[in-house]
A and B are shown apart, each in its own frame.
Chain A
Amino acid sequence: MKVLRPIIAVSLLILVGGVLGLSQGTQMLVGVILPSIAFLVFIVGFIRKVLDWSKSPVPFKIPTTCGQAKSLDFIKADRFDCPDSKSDVIVRMFLEVFLFRSLFRNTKAEMHDGPKITYGANLWLWLFGILFHYSFLTVVIRHMRLFTEPVLPGLGFLEFMDGFVQIGAPVLYQSDLIFLGCVVALFVRRLISPQVKYISLGSDYFPLLLIFAIGATGMLMRHYFRVDVVAIKQLTMGMVTLNWTNPGNIHPVFFIHVVLVSTLMMYFPFSKLMHMGGIFFSPTRNMANNSRAVRYINPWNDPNIKPHSYAGYEDEFREFMVDADIPVDKPLPPKAAEPEEAKED
């Protein structure tokens, strides 16, 4: 079972965080030093990966064309599914990055009696995906209250909106529930659909389990263990301003949370999670389908090999072509020395 190893890995991380979070001595290690290193690994790893990608040539123009290309004036072109210009590509990328449009376009083919095949919209992946990403973003922004002093303006409003239903004290955030619900849904999707299960690897399960554990420990901290937020903010503020301090009396579950988040940050640049940067490097999305209008030059081309047009080719081989009875655009110039030979043709 490919899902077993990720489960073991996340369990071990929880164990490590819990054990090291118990004693005052190792709390600094997992609560401050580890996340600082993880953050650096995240930033440097991310940049290195992006630079590596930027060095990879794209030999051919390969946009996915999902609609009618620009053609004759009376044929309606599908601008954003088959972009023709840079501005169309920008719109397409915007819709992709912010609205996950290619997942929205997902259809499912089904066979019915007849036999008859039907195609229907299949939006579950899009729905859970987009809710997951935006609630994750909300959660990350909300956490900035622990890293800024005085607290960033606007965070109070965000928290108010997020806790709008005012359930319990401390209030329940909608984004927490949606976040965890979507992670579960995305995980279950990989288990119940045979096709998706077949192509799922440990590296697909691991981030989902890790992120679930992060969300779960976060909610436990807020609603079950009710850790001392003031003490935690003293620790996190000390971390970001490099005045490292451990106020003590922080519940071990906080350190589990931090170990898991640090793992996520360090794992990020080396995994599928790099789709955060990779989406911008997708040639199938970021190129315009205009190779008939604008010549695309393969970066692999040897600059010493000059383009060879047909006219040039004919100039080079005209004599042999005429000899072999191949039709030529431009006839051979009449040759004064051998006029009878030319007449034979």
Chain B
Amino acid sequence: MYDKVKVFIGLAIFVVAALSIVGYNMSVGDKDGFRTDGKPGPEKPAGHEKCVKETAYMQTSHMVLLNKWRDEVIREGKRELVETVGGEMVEKSLQNGCLSCHVSKIKFCDRCHEYANVKPYCWDCHLAPVETPASKEAH
């Protein structure tokens, strides 16, 4: 074998880079227990059963709906109420609609967003709801 030292340094960099993710996960510990129970578990709102679309749709595509609402409300002035799957009427609004049921951003939005490292720019304009100390502690 030629250039043993250089080859081993190069291979060591390669192996460390390739396995660093496994090492990282082991070293940081299981924050929030996501890794063992495997669910970020957003808090369901009390007293409301159905959202404006089916759960499966909301889980994957709520951002599309919110984007559409944003365009309709801000750009086209269409502020009519939206009917939920359960028949309730809600405002087409993030703060007055979504957050009227899902009262906590930290316990609802942030749970999955932090898990999936999604940083939506909703809160660039919208004011995040004031969370009570209790809800912050629970997080």
Residues of A within 8 A of B31 (CB): 149-150
1/0 per residue B1-29: CB within 8 Å of A? 11110010011001100110110111010
Chain A residue total in the interface (Cβ 8 A):
47
Whether A8 sits at the interface, judged by CB under 8 Å, is no
Residues of A within 8 A of B34 (CB): 149, 237
1/0 per residue A47-78: CB within 8 Å of B? 10011001111100000000000000000000
B39 contacts A234, C-beta separation under 8 Å: yes
B67 contacts A149, C-beta separation under 8 Å: no
A243 contacts B35, C-beta separation under 8 Å: yes
Whether B123 sits at the interface, judged by CB under 8 Å, is no
**Contacts A55-B1, A149-B31, A228-B59 known; A240 to B25 CB distance under 8 Å?**
yes
User: CB < 8 Å: which of A146, A156, A228, A249 contacts B119?
Assistant: A156
Please measure, in the bound complex, the distance between the C-alpha atom of A147 and the C-alpha atom of B115, giving whole angstroms: 11
The 3 A-B residue pairs whose C-beta atoms are closest, nearest first, are A145-B117, A169-B63, A169-B67
Dominant SS among interface residues on chain B: helix
Residues of B within 8 A of A33 (CB): none
A230 contacts B21, C-beta separation under 8 Å: no
Whether B134 sits at the interface, judged by CB under 8 Å, is no
Residues of B within 8 A of A240 (CB): 21-22, 25
What's the minimum C-beta distance from B67 to chain A, rounded to whole angstroms? Answer: 4
Whether A202 sits at the interface, judged by CB under 8 Å, is no
Q: Which residues of chain A in 153-181 are interfacial with respect to chain B, using CB atoms and an 8 Å cutoff? A: 155-156, 159-160, 166, 168-170
Residues of A within 8 A of B19 (CB): 43
Residues of B within 8 A of A150 (CB): 28, 31, 114
Contacts from B to A (Cβ < 8 Å): 1-4, 7, 10-11, 14-15, 18-19, 21-22, 24-26, 28, 30-31, 34-36, 38-40, 56, 59-61, 63-64, 66-67, 112, 114-121
What's the minimum C-beta distance from B28 to chain A, rounded to whole angstroms? Answer: 6
What's the minimum C-beta distance from B8 to chain A, rounded to whole angstroms? Answer: 9
Q: Which residues of chain A in 311-332 are interfacial with respect to chain B, using CB atoms and an 8 Å cutoff? A: none
Please measure, in the bound complex, the distance between the C-alpha atom of A166 and the C-alpha atom of B19, giving whole angstroms: 33
What's the minimum C-beta distance from B108 to chain A, rounded to whole angstroms? Answer: 13
Residues of A within 8 A of B115 (CB): 149, 230, 233
User: CB < 8 Å: which of B7, B21, B64 contacts A226?
Assistant: B64
Residue of A nearest to B121 (CB): A166
Residue of A nearest to B116 (CB): A229
Whether A94 sits at the interface, judged by CB under 8 Å, is no
Residues of B within 8 A of A243 (CB): 35-36, 38
B35 contacts A148, C-beta separation under 8 Å: no
Residues of A within 8 A of B40 (CB): 230
Residues of A within 8 A of B66 (CB): 169
What's the minimum C-beta distance from B127 to chain A, rounded to whole angstroms? Answer: 20
A155 contacts B117, C-beta separation under 8 Å: yes
